[in-house]
Structure 1
Amino acid sequence: METSNPRVQSFGQTEINWDKLDKTKFYGVGAGLFTGVTVALYPVSVVKTRLQVASKDTVEKNALSVIRGILKADGIPGLYRGFGTVITGAIPARIIFMTALETTKVAAFKMLEPFKLSEATQAALANGIAGMSGSLLAQSVFVPVDVVSQKLMVQGYSGHAKYSGGIDVARKVIRSDGIQGLYRGFGLSVMTYAPSSAVWWASYGSSQRVIWRLLGRVTDPEKAPPSQGTIALVQATGGIVAGATASCITTPLDTIKTRLQVMGHDKRPSTVHVVKKLIAEDGWQGLYRGFGPRFFSMSAWGTSMILAYEYLKRLCAKEEEMVI
């Protein structure tokens, strides 16, 4: 397909836009693919959450001790507490996110065209806007899932209540706080995940362009199409950069949000109270509790997710649009 836009020529060989996808296949295969990635990385979320909610006198002060404690008490299933709830809510949330991400990204690129920005800047802005839009819409579904799953992750740990399952958690939260109880921390979730998603996708989009430029793909667009291995390596590197950047910026908000969401029904601390308590216990570094697992989670999840996502787009590209 011919185009006079040099930016499309430069990166058209490595990117597949929304209008080139078989949507039915995209949603169906995507649900299975992302479920697999979630299975692989879910234990990291459990460890991160436990570190973030641990009280000052908790013996387990690092990720390895948390893992040992979980395995000793519950075995491998302990690393998957709340998993069923997450998967149930994650599928519709991901559909919403992916749809909003791709459609908004196309619109944002068109909107930015007249400004004649550099390739990396345009990609950062368009991807950042798309990532934030997708996250804002997905949070309406995912926050209740997050509240329930995190209570299951920490049940019986460091003084937290025990539950018989996700439905039991939801029933008790609604009985105590009403429907709004399932949206506890919604504001902070939006403040955490929307900027995190914006930073992640902006970093990913711009870092890809920078890497391709370093490889000479922009300066010499007549080169033969890059191999699938090269494309995957560039995308994986972009995912690592994006995950590292986003985790450094948003971990404090994630720690505060997690603490608010897992508090018992009789405890209704304010955000300010949670911040003061964290600082009183551990100093300012208390805001970075669980940073190691979160850093690893966002980098590993980001890299795995983006490779799976880009593979999914290639797999679901309409045949007549696929690049040979």
Structure 2
Amino acid sequence: MPGNLGNFEVIELSMLKKHMFFPLSGLGNFTAQTLLYPFVLLRTRLQLQEGAQVYRGLVHAISSVVKEEGFRGLYSGYLVRSFHIFSGTIYVSTYEVARQACTVFPTLSPIHRSFVGGAVASCVAQGFFVPIDVVSQHLMVVNCNRIHTNMVYKNSNLSSNPHRFRPLTPVHLTENEMNSNWGRLCGVIRYIKQTHGLKGFYKGCLISMCTFVPSSALWWSFYDKFCGLIHFISKKMCKEHVQDSVLLPSNDDSAPVPRLLIQLISAPLAGISSAIIVNPLDVVRVRMQKQKKFAKPNSLLVPTFAKLSPCSTV
């Protein structure tokens, strides 16, 4: 691979105006959380299905949620999840500082520095992420236990084997608690505290570290790699076009594709690449955080993987 592939300039922390970067980073995080939250909720519900499958896929899940719960159902638990905005700011800040600290090692390439920075940032952020995830995941599904039970008995394929249906969460709230967002939030927190104690808010912390640390490290390294690759390809295509035309070649080293467009293309490609690698661990993480019993991680990993195995009869 050509040596100038990595010529895409990475904007370092020292180049940024801090008073603008951090507010805009929080705003960007808030926007992304708001737009993508319905997909996070749907992913969580699909991952938690055991036994009888109420949702047949993403499209069926979307139509079922909107039909049974309304459009607001796509944002169940969003209030708690929105606190990720603050932990996200801590995450980005830690990433930039860690990446900057890696400059003392001249042998590290920009991609390696991004890998280390992403891993360190995720380690620090997990202390804030895990409690929010545990509570928000219960809120994402607590509203649909009753609805799913009705769906099971309406569906002839599912009603013939209702015993195979598994509730998506062990939390059962009173009617008064279910009538308001605040009531559901207090009910879920009360359940976690009474059932598991304070350590219940950090349930699945180890598997979260095993999931998000490599995911974060891979995302940033893939992102830098794709930025450099797209930058290189666009420059090469431009030079070939100039050589085939009557125009004189330019000494300008800039790419014909705008920097923002390169980043907008690289970010989802990095997300897809990292998700393919870590998604199996993410499924296990969500299942473990929703289990009623609280046990050592190594005693839950094997049973959870066994349930997800294609050979499983559950």
Normalised to the residue count of structure 2, the TM-score between the two structures is 0.76
Which structure would you say has the larger RCO, counting Cα contacts within 8 Å and 6 or more residues apart?
Answer: 1
Asked if the contact 1:10/1:221 (under 8 Å) is kept, the reply is: no
Partner of 2:252: 223
Partner of 2:93: 99
Asked if the contact 2:231/2:255 (under 8 Å) is kept, the reply is: no
Superposed, 1:132-151 pairs within 5 Å as: 132-151=119-138
Task: From 63, 66, 79, give the equivalent of 2:61.
Answer: 66
Partner of 1:293: none
Q: Does 1:270 align with 2:300?
A: yes
Local SS of the residue matching 1:29: helix
Could you say what the CA RMSD is over the residues aligned between the two structures, in angstroms? 2.7
Task: From 78, 102, 108, give the equivalent of 2:73.
Answer: 78
- Spell out, residue by residue over 1:8-33, the C-alpha distance to the aligned partner (whole angstroms, 9 max, x if none): x9444xx4211122223222222222
Stretches (4+) displaced over 6 A: 266-269
Query: What percent of counterpart residues are identical?
Result: 26
Partner of 1:124: 111
- Spell out, residue by residue over 1:30-49, the C-alpha distance to the aligned partner (whole angstroms, 9 max, x if none): 22221112111100001100
CA distance in 2, matches of 1:199, 1:67: 29
CA distance in 1, matches of 2:129, 2:294: 24
CA distance in 1, matches of 2:15, 2:217: 24
Q: Given residue 136 of structure 2, which amino acid in structure 1 is its aligned partner? A: S
**Structure 1 range deviating more: 90-99 or 143-152:** 90-99
CA distance in 2, matches of 1:128, 1:147: 26
Local SS of the residue matching 2:82: helix
CA distance in 1, matches of 2:65, 2:211: 27
CA distance in 2, matches of 1:210, 1:21: 24
Superposed, 1:253-268 pairs within 5 Å as: 253-264=281-292
Partner of 1:172: 191
Give unmatched runs, 5+ long, in structure 2: 146-165, 174-182, 240-248
Q: Per the alignment, do residues 238 and 283 of structure 1 end up closer, same or farther by CA in structure 2, a change over 3 Å counting? A: farther
Asked if the contact 1:207/1:238 (under 8 Å) is kept, the reply is: yes
Q: Given residue 141 of structure 1, which amino acid in structure 2 is its aligned partner? A: F
Partner of 2:157: none
Measure how far apart 1:147 and its partner are: 0.4
Measure how far apart 1:211 and its partner are: 2.1
Q: Does 1:232 align with 2:266?
A: no
Task: From 11, 16, 19, give the equivalent of 1:21.
Answer: 16
Give unmatched runs, 5+ long, in structure 1: 1-5, 287-324
Partner of 1:56: 51
Measure how far apart 1:235 and its partner are: 1.1
Measure how far apart 1:84 and its partner are: 0.3
Partner of 2:26: 31
Q: Per the alignment, do residues 243 and 205 of structure 1 end up closer, same or farther by CA in structure 2, a change over 3 Å counting? A: same
Q: Per the alignment, do residues 221 and 141 of structure 1 end up closer, same or farther by CA in structure 2, a change over 3 Å counting? A: farther
CA distance in 1, matches of 2:221, 2:233: 18
Asked if the contact 1:173/1:265 (under 8 Å) is kept, the reply is: no
CA distance in 2, matches of 1:184, 1:222: 57
Asked if the contact 1:35/1:87 (under 8 Å) is kept, the reply is: yes
Measure how far apart 1:267 and its partner are: 9.1
Measure how far apart 1:162 and its partner are: 4.2
Partner of 1:316: none
Asked if the contact 2:95/2:120 (under 8 Å) is kept, the reply is: yes
